[in-house]
Amino acid sequence: MKKQTETISGAQAFIESLKCESVDTIFGYPGGSLLPIYDAIFDCDLHHILVRHEQAAAHAADGYSRATGKVGVCLATSGPGATNLITGIATANMDSSSIVAFTGQVNSSLIGNDAFQEADITGITLPITKHNYLVQRAEDIPTAICEAFHIASTGRKGPVLVDITKNATVDRVLFSYPKDVNIPSYKPTYKGNMQQIKRAATEILKAKRPLIFSGGGVISSNASEKLVELSELLNIPVTLTLMGLGAMPSSHKNFIGMPGMHGMKTANYAIQNSDVLIAVGARFDDRVTGRIEDFASGAKVIHIDIDPAEISKNIYAEIPIVGDVSIVLKDLISIINERINTRSNEKLIQEYKANNDKWVNDILKHKSENPLTYDKNSPLIKPQFVVETISELAPNAIIVTDVGQHQMWAAHYFDFKYPRQFISSGGLGTMGFGLPAAIGAKVGCPDKTVINITGDGSFQMNSQEIATAVQHNLPIVSVIINNGYLGMVRQWQELFHDKRYSETDIQNSVDFVKLAEAYGALGFRVTEKSDLKRTLKEAIDSQRPAVVDVLVDRSENVYPMVPAGASINEYLEPDA
């Protein structure tokens, strides 16, 4: 237990507590209730990134966490500063990202009096955090921070908020930091039930058409190698949700694409025709399942997840397994290997292999007959071509996206190679996520190239963060897929609202080159296909913050597409 013989202020205790948690970076924005903390920051060696909007602080902490696997930290003042964090906290919550958000609060004596810049941020954020704290005494700061980091980084990961009153940061305390965390009401299950794992192994080895359906839980539990090992052990096809992309290389022979509303036809076909569906760290959200009663209706579902609340929430699981994905997969692989190597199981293994060969050949045939396509001969710049060019030029880059059509094109056309390579807002679908999350990813992984693939609508949500990238010399390249529309909304208006494009045309709303240059970044515009590769390479090689505005075909839509509420094998087809 770390102790000091002299008292320090609550603000200094805050800094010392972060050091005890090995925090190296804070994304924040100062304000009145935080003045004691910022005064303490002035004298410490923690790296503080000054964002230009508090929402960006939360997204940057989120991007940092997703890229590194560590807990991201953000800091905002009371009242509007705290409430500006909410969208970022909700984004992290939906995607199970580990962040601890700190907010300043008015003096304890003023709480409930509608004091200047007072907001009940613990009450406001209760539905979108794993847990939150209101700290009103200096001596409670270390324990609250210790518990917050433990909760954020264990079990199903997620955001925790710690609200600290101003008087708590001023009062003196004899600092000591807890060595251990013991929260009786919070005991995540890590080790899966062995009987259930054995049942799962039995069903998998009996399967004629097994399929692995994997989500972001595989990445957050660092279980990607185990996922690939299981797939290769029994030659099982794998489909990865948006949050799971990168858990298996896109080029792997067993990877059949992303499923769901905008998923690959082969991935959806495999789900609908599987007889055993092995769900690993995925939560069966509506964008993946389509019409619930039709989803994998002929399959026995094995569901592995650390959060018991997710199991059978949307899709009934015949074999539920609560536990950490990495630990459960290790045990499952061990049991399967044991059975494979037992002579009495030779006939079972031969039958499995014969059936599986037919299934895999069927999948490969379907995949070859249903590739992703777009008009590569078009004189216009197609957005898919932009993503393919980025993938060619920067194959190992961390790819961050905003939300919309460009997000789906990035998911489909970038060749992902490793986990944590793809960072995107999935559950909440937050426009404006991309640039600040890219800042967080670059801070966390300074040796990686970081590219933000965004849309002209999304980019304007938090474009002020160009200034943050410039100030801290973060060479992030933002590639704007500029179609002059709020593209995904326009696509829905085209397909479902008789082409009544109500308030979605934003063509020529801003000169992105001048905007970038105004902040001190490089600005580029691409209007010809022949200039795209050269310009992107120049931006990437510049090692400076850059914005590349690519004017693409305005009418291009995202396909495949399954209408909302339809079965995932019921597609809208593009006009010939």
The owner of tokens 């931006």 is: 539
Q: DSSP letter for 561, please.
A: B
- Catalytic positions are 54, 116-117, 166, 488
Q: How far apart are CA 11 and CA 21, in angstroms?
A: 16
- Give the max Cα distance, the chain: 78
Torsional sign, CA 33, 21, 140, 144: positive
Q: Which residues of 476-486 are buried (b: 16+ CB within 10 A; e: fewer)?
A: bbbbbbbbbbb
Give counts: helices (H), strands (E), the chain: 23, 19
Tell me the two tokens of residue 341.
């190597």
- For residue 507, count CB atoms less than 10 angstroms from its CB and return exposed for 0-12, middle for 13-18, buried for 19 or more: exposed
Q: How far apart are CA 280 and CA 322, in angstroms?
A: 11
Those residues with Cβ within 8 angstroms of residue 162's Cβ, 6 or more apart along the chain or in another chain: 100, 101, 102, 103, 132, 133, 135, 144, 145, 148
Q: How far apart are CA 536 and CA 527, in angstroms?
A: 12
CA-nearest of 281, 316, 287 to 301 is 316
Omega before 446 cis (within 30°)? no
Those residues with Cβ within 8 angstroms of residue 50's Cβ, 6 or more apart along the chain or in another chain: 28, 29, 468, 471
Q: How many whole angstroms from its chain centre is CA 252?
A: 22
- Write out the DSSP string of 189-225: --SPPHHHHHHHHHHHHH-SSEEEEE-HHHHHTT-HH
